[in-house]
Amino acid sequence: MIYLDNSATTRPFDGVVDRMAGAMRESWFNASAAYAPALTVEKEIRECRRCLAKAAGAQENGVIFTSCGTEGDNLAILGTAETLHAPMNFVLSAIEHPAVAETVKRVLRMGHEVRVLPVDSAGRVRPDAARDLIDEHTALVSCMQVSNETGAIQPLSELSEIIRSAAPQARFHVDGVQGFLRVPLNMGKLGVDFYAVSGHKIHGPKGIGALLVNPGKRLVPQMTGGGQEGGMRSGTYDAPAILALGEAVREMTARAPAERLRALKLRLWHHLKGIDGITANGPEPEDAELAAPHILSLSFEGVRGEVMRNALEGEGILVSTGSACSSHKQKVSAALLSMGLDREKADGTIRVSLGCLNTEEEMDRAAEAMAAQYGVLKRFQRR
């Protein structure tokens, strides 16, 4: 099997599995208890908090452990909305993950306004439009770091400058699930207030993530109870998952995988780019400043993405047709349509996403299979 759907989830590193299993055997004490073994676990969790903060240029006391990236996004958006005493506007990009796009529907029901930032043909937010939409009544601006469908790196620095100029009171929320540790980001230098990450996207375990918060920004907790995480996210600490997340961050940091992932992506693309009918969506794959190193969106003219995905699975190659959170809804990607793709091209798209465990040989074999399957399937293309 060749697994090329790492934006959906990643296989945990062996060291992560070992760390989690070891923690379940030895660090299973409740970290909120007062006796020595529990204090040792609390100390280990604190070290993971430092590790996460350092990796994103955040402050240690701003790291809130969550169950996933979705929970982090919800806490940032709804936690901000509930601090407001008058109607405000919330601005989000047209390509946001459902974790953001669905959550702002609740903001609408609270009586606030939602404004959508358009993207260009490469799938990147347009700063000129942001200048028109962000104003003194903006409460929060939400923009993902990297598009989960096309790999387009968003112009966060430009957005941050616009926010600080036009709406200094607004909070800046970034969904970093697809960018964390693959595309650099420093919260402090960039002026990001909330940064959501997920463990299982970086070869860590499922069920653990974090929202990194600028400690000066107030949030209303969405989960209340025993007061863990400074009262921002109550619930008994999942020490094994947290310690495994810390291990994943340390290994990803040590590997510094961006250049290797980019080389693998370009190896695959160079095999395919000369084939008539196969095109890449989003930024030019070779553009290291605009295109993330690990995601490649491919359209196959005349062949539905679902058909190509199933054909490749028959060859032992696993890809997706878009976000795993929407893969069972069988609808054309709104993100691709927002970039100006026509429905047929958007419907003929698959997403290839790479991880640290992929190899050059897999790129060669995958490209060969894609070319061969396309050669067969396009004979039956729609008229």
Pairing of the two strands 138-142 and 89-93? parallel
Q: Provide CB contacts within 8 A for 249, sequence distance 6+.
A: 48, 51, 52, 55, 181, 202, 204
Cα end-to-end span (Å), the chain? 33
Kindly give, in sequence order, each residue whose CB lies less than 8 Å from that of residue 158, ignoring residues fewer than 6 positions away: 127, 130
Q: Identify whether 68 is a catalytic site residue.
A: no
Could you tell me which residues are beta bridge partners of residue 299?
Answer: 279, 349
- Active-site residue, from 48, 51, 325, 356: 325
Question: How far is the C-alpha of 293 from the C-alpha of 297, rounded, in Å?
Answer: 12
d(CA 65, CA 219): 15
Cα distance between residue 192 and residue 183, in whole Å:
15
Residue 295 and residue 370: Cα distance in Å, rounded? Answer: 16
Give every strand in the sheet of 113-117, ordered side by side: 63-66, 209-213, 194-198, 171-175, 138-142, 89-93, 113-117
Q: Decide: 265 and 354 in contact? Cβ < 8 Å.
A: yes
How many residues in the chain?
383
- DSSP strand pairing (317-318 vs 2-3): parallel
- Torsion sign over Cα 242, 324, 73, 179: positive
Rounded CA gap, 229 and 195, in Å? 16
Contact assessment for residue 58 and residue 187, using Cβ atoms and an 8 Å cutoff:
yes
- Catalytic machinery residues: 325
